[in-house]
């Protein structure tokens, strides 16, 4: 009988062995640089940077549970978990994982982080099936037919639309649809407070008009013209209430550098013009790209 009990106990332990925290890594030209570890730090109030050197991930905390934004690369998941732990929080207390867009450099680690936390993954209706399939759709400006990059599939995703909110205790994060860089691009906003001073934080999705192959934003009659919707996304981000911006690539607004330069009397991360500046730079890049596409479209 004792032998039977021991065997059953061993079987129980084996059944509860957690799944690996890291899925198959993605190799790319920038991956090593992007995935370099950085010490996690407070952004403001209950908002914390837990990402890597080149890929943002933000933890918003409350006594009732936390919300994590993005998962970076598959090989970033262990770093994000360690950063959360280093701040004194637990991955098991993350109730939701929100996605900006479903490219593998921002969503590749989500499946592992979902397994580690048991959290519900939330993304736009256009991004949800991409997360569940593990690869970009053909309507994505950066779709690659050869080679197709696959990351671990996310088991279950809750879809949200414009203005929908995700709530945990006092936390309320709002989704803003910002398609363009990807069809399912989403920018997230919330309020963080220190004492009586509350600031609006914007987790800004990429607005970079980068595309693969012969993709064009004007379509040229082959695919839908998405130039106007991309321009509208840029204008939407520019108009958001915004005291602090954390873009999905922190280097875009020098997030890490600004955090390092903080002093008791000065916090460079707080900048009421940051979202407008971020959008203005993206708008200039898109205008330049569209002018080139339209010129090529009318060339003999």
Q: What is the pLDDT of residue 7?
A: 36
Cα separation of 25 and 27, whole Å? 6
In the predicted structure, residue 12 carries a pLDDT above the cut 70: no
- Per-residue CA distances from 261 to 54, 201, 230, 258, 264 (Å): 18, 19, 33, 5, 10
Query: To the nearest whole percent, how much of the chain has pLDDT over 70?
Result: 91
- pLDDT of 11 reads 43
pLDDT band at 213 (very low <50, low <70, confident <90, very high): confident
Percent of the chain with pLDDT over 90: 82
Contact assessment for residue 144 and residue 106, using Cβ atoms and an 8 Å cutoff: no
Whole-number pLDDT of residue 212: 87
pLDDT above 50 for 14: no
Residue in this structure with the two tokens 């990807």, named with its chain if needed: 182
pLDDT (tens digit per residue) in 90-149: 999 999 999 999 999 999 999 999 999 999 999 999 999 999 999 888 888 888 766 778
Picking from 18, 21, 70, the residue whose alpha carbon sits closest to that of residue 206 is 70
Average pLDDT over residues 149-153: 91
The terminus-to-terminus CA distance of the chain in angstroms comes to: 87
pLDDT tens digits for range 23-39: 999 999 999 999 999 99
Q: SS3 for 67?
A: strand
pLDDT at 208 > cutoff 50:
yes
110-117 and 77-86 helices cross at what angle (nearest 10)?
Answer: 50
Q: How far apart are CA 185 and CA 168, in angstroms?
A: 23
pLDDT given at position 18? 58
Q: Mention every residue, 6+ apart, whose C-beta is less than 8 A from residue 241.
A: 189, 200
List, for residues 36-50, the tens digit of each pLDDT value. Answer: 999 999 999 999 999
Amino acid 32: pLDDT? 97
């Amino acid at each position: 009988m004792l032998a039977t009990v021991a065997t059953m106990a061993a079987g129980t332990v084996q059944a509860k062995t957690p799944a690996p925290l890291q899925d198959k890594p993605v190799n790319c030209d920038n991956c090593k640089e992007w995935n370099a570890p950085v010490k996690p730090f407070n952004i403001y109030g209950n908002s914390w940077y837990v990402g890597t050197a080149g890929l943002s991930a933000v933890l918003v905390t409350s006594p009732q549970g936390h919300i994590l934004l993005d998962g970076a690369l598959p090989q970033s998941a262990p770093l994000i978990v360690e950063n959360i732990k280093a701040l004194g929080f637990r991955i098991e207390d993350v109730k939701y994982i929100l996605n900006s867009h479903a490219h593998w450099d921002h969503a590749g680690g989500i499946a592992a982080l979902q397994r580690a936390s048991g959290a519900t993954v939330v993304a736009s209706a256009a991004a949800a099936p991409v997360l569940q399939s593990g690869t970009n759709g053909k309507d994505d400006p950066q779709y690659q037919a050869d080679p197709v990059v696959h990351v671990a599939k996310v088991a279950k995703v809750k879809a949200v639309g414009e203005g929908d909110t995700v709530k945990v205790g006092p936390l309320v994060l709002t989704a803003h649809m910002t398609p363009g860089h990807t069809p399912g691009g989403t920018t997230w906003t919330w309020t963080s407070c220190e004492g009586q001073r509350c600031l609006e934080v914007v987790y800004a999705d990429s607005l970079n008009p980068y595309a693969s192959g012969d993709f064009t934003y004007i379509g040229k009659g082959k695919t839908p013209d998405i130039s106007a919707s991309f321009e509208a996304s840029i204008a939407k981000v520019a108009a958001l209430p915004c005291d602090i911006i954390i873009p999905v690539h922190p280097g875009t607004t020098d997030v890490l550098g600004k955090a390092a330069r903080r002093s008791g009397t000065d916090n460079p991360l707080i900048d009421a013009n940051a979202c407008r500046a971020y959008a203005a730079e993206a708008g200039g890049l898109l205008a330049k790209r569209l002018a080139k596409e339209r010129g090529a479209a009318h060339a003999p």
